[in-house]
Amino acid sequence: MAKAPKNAITPTRSDDYPEWYQQVIKAADLAEISPVRGCMVIKPWGWGIWENMQHVLDGMFKETGHVNAYFPLFIPISFLEKEAEHVEGFAKECAVVTHHRLEPGPDGGLVPAGKLDEPLIVRPTSETIIGSMYAKWVQSYRDLPILINQWANVVRWELRTRMFLRTTEFLWQEGHTAHATEKEAVDETRLMLDVYADFAENFMAMPVIKGEKPSWERFPGAVSTFSIESMMQDRKALQAGTSHFLGQNFSKAQEIKFQSKEGGEEFAWTTSWGVSTRLVGGLIMTHSDDDGLVLPPKLAPQQIVLLPIYRNDEDRDTVLEYCKTLREELKSQTYAGRPVRVLIDDRDIRGGEKTWQHIKKGVPIRAEVGPRDVASDSVFVGRRDKGHKDKQGISRGVFVQNIATTLEEIQTGLFEKAKKMLDDNSRVIDDLAELEAFFTPKNKKNPEIHGGFASCYCCDDAEVEEKLKELKLTVRSFPVDVEEEPGTCIFTGKPAARRAVVAKAY
């Protein structure tokens, strides 16, 4: 007789990490594959996480002076052609609309008709279409800066997709700003990098490294690209957000020019920056375990679930009334500047099954309430950051009074656990053979989780890019906000001004 699995998720992380990731999404009911190739349906619990991310980020953007707007989904192909490097970077990923209606075909089906005079690109990113509008809006230095963000969907034709991490259509925000001076634009680029890092660490509980991308990893058409990089539990890197200094490249292509204070004509300096639903994938892989999703309380759709337990209608009425008044008391408390989010789950299913559903969905706190708890004015509490059998009785008053402290304890604990993993699996490496050994699994037929982040001297050179391809590694970034000391590039032997983070990556 086969033994029952010890964990709710099969396979485990150590057995098959990619499949574990898919099974966590399924068990938590976050999303599922749609009938449209490469696209997913984000289900209510998954949407709730993204919605909370949007809420926090939108507030952070507005606190830094940005406003929201919306621009067209379709972009004339001629707009992309104006910026050669940009179109080259996205050409292979573009979805193209060539007709504007359908007509009955000879075999009874429908066929495209009404060919467009100019093909339209389904938005892969919006620099060109937004730039065309900024060119209209900017006439004088008095019209600057423009600080606009849009929440939108984009389409990039992907051959290999993975839910939340890489899909043909995904949701994101993209900020686009225009400035009178280079310094203002550079400062904006770094400001938004800091905003993303703040959000990742203080809301997602996901430690990140802020850095500048090497030249071959820059956004097409950018002067410089900065990113936040995080280590997942398989020790691979995830690029979680990017901020681009575009210089005057796009403003010259789109003719975003203005009259300066001195009366001369100048081109604007522009930036763009964005994060996407990929953050949900990062959240899953940073914190979840072999029992399912683990959520930081600040982003959980529900922070507490109350689980009524009863055997008859009389007990049901008493227990439910207790839960309802407890819910209101909890909702009157605040955590992270918002009312505490509480769900009463009174569905008519077995208590054990119900409990495990919430464990797999990552609800931070579960509180069981039965007739004995009502009689003693208490609750029986379990936390998602502890073992599923680790539960304790707590008086109602203490539970309510300490709820914000408990949620913050969970939030902080998740960050500290993830930070320890990052630190424990990061190495300073100054020898190419040592680097290769660090990223070589002991079991080559069935590789175990291995590697991590290597800090190496590296020059920004095409020769490095080629060597990394051979090793199936990437330069994630050259960290910023650290003291730089020159050394010798371990890939080329040439002088290197700074160290880079090298890793396997998503």
Q: Is 131 exposed, middle or buried (0-12, 13-18, 19+ CB in 10 A)?
A: buried
Do the beta carbons of residue 415 and residue 207 sit within 8 Å? yes
265-277 pLDDT, tens digit per residue, is: 999 999 999 999 9
Per the listing, tokens 């502890």 go with 386
Is the previous residue joined to 11 through a cis bond, with omega within 30 degrees of 0?
A: yes
Tell me the chain's radius of gyration from C-alpha atoms: 26
Do residues 243 and 196 lie in contact, with contact meaning Cβ atoms separated by under 8 Å? yes
Helix (H, G, I), strand (E, B) or coil at 408: helix
pLDDT of residue 315: 95
Give the tens place of pLDDT for each residue, 358-410.
999 999 999 999 999 999 999 999 999 999 999 999 999 999 999 999 999 99
Beta-strand relationship, 304-308 and 342-344 = parallel
What is 302-331 written as a DSSP string? -SEEEEE--SSHHHHHHHHHHHHHHHHHHH
Residue 5 predicted with pLDDT over 70:
no
At 102 the pLDDT is: 97
**Mean of per-residue pLDDT scores for the chain:** 96
Phi, psi of 104, rounded to the nearest 5 degrees: -60, 135
pLDDT at 82: 86
Instruction: For residues 31-46, give the mean pLDDT.
Output: 97
Which residues on neighbouring strands pair with residue 292, listed in sequence order? Answer: 289
Q: What is the mean pLDDT of residues 478-496?
A: 95
Give the number of other Cβ atoms within 10 Å of residue 318's Cβ: 17
The residue type of 158 is: E
For 240-253, write each residue's pLDDT tens digit.
999 999 999 999 99
pTM listed for this prediction: 0.96
pLDDT at 292 over 90: yes
Question: Phi and psi dihedrals of 338, rounded to 5?
Answer: -135, 155
Give the span between the Cα atoms of 284 and 290, in whole angstroms. Answer: 12
Lowest mean pLDDT among 2-6, 79-83, 200-204: 2-6
Question: Could you give the CA distance from residue 401 to residue 334 in angstroms, rounded to a whole number?
Answer: 11
What is the phi-psi region of residue 189: left when phi exceeds 0, alpha when psi lies from -120 to 50, beta otherwise?
Answer: alpha
pLDDT recorded at residue 374: 98
Q: Starting from the edge strand earliest in sequence, which strands make up the sheet with 365-369, in order? A: 342-344, 304-308, 365-369, 378-383, 391-395
Q: So what's the pLDDT on residue 85? A: 76
Task: Map tokens 């950051």 to a residue.
Answer: 385
Whether residue 4 has pLDDT greater than 90:
no
Return the DSSP state at 340: P
pLDDT of residue 3: 58
For 66-91, what is the mean pLDDT? 89
DSSP code, position 43: P
For 159-194, how does the pLDDT look when each residue is reduced to its tens digit (9 = 90+)? 889 999 999 999 999 999 999 999 999 999 999 999
pLDDT of residue 2: 53
Q: Quick check: 1 pLDDT over 80?
A: no
